[in-house]
Structure 1
Amino acid sequence: MQTQATVANPILWADVPDVSVIRVGSVYYMVSTSMHSMPGCPIMKSGNLKHWGLAGYVFDRLEDNDAHNLMDGKGIYGSGSWAASLRYHDGIYYVAFSSNDMNRFYVYRTADIERGPWERSVIEGLHHDPSLLFDDGRVYVIYGNGDIRIRELTETASAPKEGGLDRLLFETEREGIGLRCEGCHAYKLNGFYYLFFIEWPTVGNRRRRQLVYRSRRLLGPYERRVALDDDLGYRNCGVAQGGIVSTPEGKWYAMLFQDRDAVGRIPCLVPVRWEDDWPIFGADGRVPGTLEAPMPDIAPRPLVTGDEFDYGDNKLALNWQWNHNPDDRLWSVTARPGWLRLTTGAIANRIELARNTLTQRTEGPTCAAETLLDAAGMKPGDRAGLVALQSGFGTVGIWAGENGERFVAMCVRGQDGSEEIVESLPYACERIRLKIEFDFRESADTAVFAYSAEGEAWRSIGRPLQMKYTLDHFMGYRIGLFNYATRVSGGFADFDYFRYAKGGERD
């Protein structure tokens, strides 16, 4: 049923950056950056541009090597899949992106975006922030940072076309610009080629802004306009980078994102109208906090969700992603029915290097998660619990001692990168409840840690974590379950549930 809906920005108050959106029939699909989280390149689905749910992933693992497996002492934090381009052409869905750590450009194809399988092609060399463009039987990728290039691909976009176009398309502005144009989204509409970018000026508002370049010819020359320069009233953080999409009724919108500190980069929906074949973003040049739009009445699906771990097969809900590639031999939801079991493998000295940490996004304005941990199977030196995961991490959980004793501990990242104990207390029981509460309101960006024995009141532990978004991880804070060994492998921790609550819910 078609209704007039009130849409509030942000559309998703969670880390869903570098969005690329298409519509096929009456269904919208969106892909975003996933970097070191696996499975990667999440595909989200919507019937109305307002409510988005996870429909699948493009790949389970991008590569199988020591860095992607978190076995090289560094991992691929801040690397992996970046700024994917999602397109649909002649019955086939395409996702294309580059990976900085691999110095490669990847193209995936499928006839079924929700179920796959995805066919993969690899082209050597970075194609920074690419956009695929299908034009009159030819296929191009347009990419770059400041120096914008165009390269012709084969009909299936699986390789460079031999003898095809491969050249500099144009150079973007330099004067007064800190970050030159990147984040390309390319379209051919109404006899024009449109290229959308972001740039970050060092004069004027000094915030990320959305640009559009337009030409009647693919190779130019291109005209340039600032399409949007607004911050939605938030700390001079520009709403920009993304593409445009039309509704079946012919209305146009842009899906862009905004930096929102520790929670990450969050999508916003911006109305678009056309004037003299130029796209005009926003209402009077501003991103509306709310907008009325004709949209079908479709129930929302949660991006982050609780889990009682009641599975018949050893397969998790789509909401979960592992921190780097998991070792599938060492986790199970069937070994102990109704529980998630994490068994230790390689030795690690901190949570950042711990394999098989299972994560979901955090959400604003506030959210909280709790779990019940059974520590009976842990070995000396094991550490298990809940983590607020970014470079400046915080953990709460059980540390297993040398002689069978246990401690409940709250830890943060120390100056040398190791886990620094803020508070540690003896704990006699095998089972413990753990909780982290997140507050992203007005950039408070705090996480508070608590524990309790079963049936007892919650007790805070340690100190509130002042969360900070840093570029070494380049990802908003995530909430995760972990168990890792510091001395000997083979111990296990069982988690009975993951219960999640989001504050400030909107219809």
Structure 2
Amino acid sequence: MKRIMAFVALVIVFFMSNGVFAQQQTAVNPIIYADVPDMSMIRVGNTYYMSSTTMHMSPGVPIMKSTDLVNWKLVSYAYDTLANTNTMNLEDGKNTYGKGSWASSLRYHKGAFYVSTFSATSGKTHVYTTRDIEKGSWKVLSFRPVLHDHSLFFDDDGRVYMVFGAGKIRLAELNSDVSGIKPGTKEQVLIENANEPSGNGGLPAEGSQLFKLNGKYYLFNITWPKGGMRTVVVHRADHLRGPYEGRIAFQDFGVAQGGLIDMPDGRYYAYLFRDYGAVGRVPYLVPVSWQDGWPVLGDAGKLVPLTGLPAGTGLMPGIVASDEFLRTKKAPALPLVWQWNHNPDPKLWSVTQRKGYLRLTTGRLDTHFLQAKNTLTQRTIGPVCVGSTMLDISKMKDGDFAGLSMLQKNYGQIGVQVSGNTKVLVMIDAGAGRPIETKGDALHQDKIYFKIECEFGNLKDTANFIYSLDGVIWKALGTPLKMSYTLPHFMGYRFGLFNYASKHVGGYADFDYFHISDNLDNK
């Protein structure tokens, strides 16, 4: 036996040395096969931190951590509530889908972390600061006007700026405490037409991210030339205020918008993202070399394999995670993987009223899923994923609808709808833009199991809605949802746990668990 084991070990070493297992030993793009757009990234010592966009979700501006640029986990959010308005609260028929807070800028300066973002919903530019990005509290600052797609920048002379704009890129100096635009200063146009290197027309250059390396200033922007693809344009200058010269830095598969990150060993990568269908906008890493003081992304602007970085270990539990809704006394009420659709009403949800369950209680009347309060969400992940739950429906009231959903403008739902004393299985398919209802059997039990299976690979973008009476035998209900990424919501599809009322308030549904898997065979 020992001889056989030794022989097997030699064979493994041989194959590994000849690259047979190389694909398993190195990272591949997308680095995160989930909706993590508008990244901003920093390195502090040997640790990397990244902020991203989640717009109308609460809490907002997620902060993620990595030690290798490949494997990431959520560690914080910059805010719990962006604004207490009718639009953020889903009140009076209003919402802020696709708005909320947009592209953030993450910086580390003199021992403090800064996250800045901007919001058409609040009409402000927001700055959040902390000295402990993982466990600390955040100081909140905000000011007007809204500085679109800005890059927060601390220069070597101690002065602080924001670079912002679309097409025409501008510079504004801020107060030293980053509390607003410095009195007596004026905005300066840094680049009159940042689109120019990639041609005019199409999407104006935006998504500014500014860096200073070896005494030179590098400004990254995304453009989208008419008839072309999303493109990375880089401008360079010897002085902050210019003049700037620009060139196309990357143009392949529409991978664009981001900036530079360095590793302790001196290597550089560009972090960018790609529109990837219904799952959302997914992060990519592109190796960077330098030529004549210019960053060269990939192989002359084309994607190359990610050699030299470790393989990813999956997105669970760092980005998404199952939840049994069991809480110890010191545990947070909800793990960081969860976000609410808009601002929640804290009086109407609980993980303590019944041990081991999430309780969603109705507190007002709603007739449409997208206006319903307290839908609790997690990202979907690719290339495939399954979300499942079990509900106790015994305390639902006439007119209530509770279950499991796929949240986007063209949404899908599977759940239990109460009409009088009858509880009926219902699947709703809004994939074509308007909801189509399929009714199943009436239920004569208090517990019901639901599952949604998603396939995103090769842009298949379909979801199947399934139920079970016993958790063993599963049946499909309705039609497969054809998922589509829509700009009004500007977000990849999310699993959602929901309960809302159309006739009476005070009913509730108890969710026993939420399980997520990256394997369709895990049934």
* TM bracket, shorter-chain basis: over 0.9
How far residue 171 of structure 1 moved from its aligned partner, in angstroms, is: 1.5
Question: Which of 120, 124, 131 matches 1:111?
Answer: 131
Q: Any idea what the Cα deviations from partners look like across 1:446-475, whole Å, max 9, x if unmatched?
A: 010010112541010000000000000000
Question: Which of 190, 209, 213 matches 1:169?
Answer: 190
Structure 2 residue aligned with 1:32: 52
Query: Are 2:174 and 1:153 equivalent residues in the alignment?
Result: yes
Question: Which of 180, 204, 225 matches 2:204?
Answer: 180
Q: Any idea what the Cα deviations from partners look like across 1:302-339, whole Å, max 9, x if unmatched?
A: 31111111113561111000000111111111110011
Letter of the 1:219 partner, please give it.
Answer: R
Structure 1 residue aligned with 2:439: 423
Structure 2 residue aligned with 1:253: 269
Structure 1 residue aligned with 2:308: 293
How far residue 64 of structure 1 moved from its aligned partner, in angstroms, is: 1.0
1:389-428 counterparts in 2 under 5 A?
A: 389-402=407-420, 404-413=421-430, 419-428=435-444
Question: Which of 230, 233, 245 matches 1:208?
Answer: 230
Moved more, 78-87 or 117-126: 117-126
Residue 442 of structure 1 aligns to a residue whose secondary structure is helix
Instruction: Output the CA distance in 2 between the equivalents of 1:197 and 1:456.
Output: 51
How far residue 415 of structure 1 moved from its aligned partner, in angstroms, is: 7.4
**Contact 1:303 1:319 (8 Å CA) reproduced:** yes
Q: Any idea what the Cα deviations from partners look like across 1:360-380, whole Å, max 9, x if unmatched?
A: 000110000110000001010
Q: Any idea what the Cα deviations from partners look like across 1:47-83, whole Å, max 9, x if unmatched?
A: 0001000001000110112111111313110101100
How far residue 176 of structure 1 moved from its aligned partner, in angstroms, is: 3.5
Instruction: Output the CA distance in 1 between the equivalents of 2:475 and 2:235.
Output: 56
Larger Rg: 2
Residue 407 of structure 1 aligns to a residue whose secondary structure is strand
Letter of the 2:230 partner, please give it.
Answer: R
How far residue 191 of structure 1 moved from its aligned partner, in angstroms, is: 1.2
**Contact 1:48 1:296 (8 Å CA) reproduced:** no
Letter of the 1:198 partner, please give it.
Answer: I
Letter of the 1:161 partner, please give it.
Answer: K
How far residue 503 of structure 1 moved from its aligned partner, in angstroms, is: 3.2
Instruction: Output the CA distance in 2 between the equivalents of 1:467 and 1:408.
Output: 22
Structure 2: runs of 5 or more not aligned:
1-21
Question: Which of 160, 163, 166 matches 1:142?
Answer: 163
Structure 1 residue aligned with 2:507: 491
Structure 1: runs of 5 or more not aligned:
232-237
Question: Which of 218, 227, 244 matches 1:194?
Answer: 218
Paired positions, count: 491
Instruction: Output the CA distance in 2 between the equivalents of 1:503 and 1:225.
Output: 43
How far residue 11 of structure 1 moved from its aligned partner, in angstroms, is: 0.3
**Contact 1:374 1:493 (8 Å CA) reproduced:** yes
Letter of the 1:41 partner, please give it.
Answer: V
Change beyond 3 A, Cα 1:133–1:72: same
Query: Are 2:110 and 1:94 equivalent residues in the alignment?
Result: no
Instruction: Output the CA distance in 1 between the equivalents of 2:358 and 2:400.
Output: 17
Instruction: Output the CA distance in 2 between the equivalents of 1:471 and 1:70.
Output: 19
Query: Are 2:438 and 1:448 equivalent residues in the alignment?
Result: no
Query: Are 2:291 and 1:275 equivalent residues in the alignment?
Result: yes
Moved more, 452-461 or 50-59: 452-461
Query: Are 2:74 and 1:59 equivalent residues in the alignment?
Result: no
Change beyond 3 A, Cα 1:16–1:414: closer
Instruction: Output the CA distance in 1 between the equivalents of 2:443 and 2:241.
Output: 68
Moved more, 449-458 or 194-203: 449-458
How far residue 278 of structure 1 moved from its aligned partner, in angstroms, is: 0.3
**Contact 1:196 1:243 (8 Å CA) reproduced:** yes
Instruction: Output the CA distance in 2 between the equivalents of 1:249 and 1:92.
Output: 24
Instruction: Output the CA distance in 1 between the equivalents of 2:474 and 2:314.
Output: 34
Query: Are 2:38 and 1:18 equivalent residues in the alignment?
Result: yes
Instruction: Output the CA distance in 1 between the equivalents of 2:158 and 2:62.
Output: 28
**Contact 1:47 1:298 (8 Å CA) reproduced:** no
| Overall identity of the aligned pairs, in % | 47
How far residue 283 of structure 1 moved from its aligned partner, in angstroms, is: 2.7
How far residue 296 of structure 1 moved from its aligned partner, in angstroms, is: 11
How far residue 387 of structure 1 moved from its aligned partner, in angstroms, is: 0.3
Query: Are 2:69 and 1:49 equivalent residues in the alignment?
Result: yes
Q: TM-score, normalised by structure 2?
A: 0.91
**Contact 1:30 1:44 (8 Å CA) reproduced:** yes
Query: Are 2:90 and 1:70 equivalent residues in the alignment?
Result: yes
Moved more, 310-319 or 113-122: 310-319
Letter of the 2:482 partner, please give it.
Answer: Q
Where is the helix percentage greater, Structure 1 or Structure 2?
2
Question: Which of 461, 477, 480 matches 1:461?
Answer: 477
Instruction: Output the CA distance in 1 between the equivalents of 2:471 and 2:292.
Output: 67
Q: Which runs of 4+ in 1 moved over 4 A?
A: 294-301, 414-417
Instruction: Output the CA distance in 2 between the equivalents of 1:157 and 1:374.
Output: 49
How far residue 297 of structure 1 moved from its aligned partner, in angstroms, is: 10
Residue 411 of structure 1 aligns to a residue whose secondary structure is strand
**Contact 2:95 2:371 (8 Å CA) reproduced:** yes
| RMSD, aligned CA | 1.9
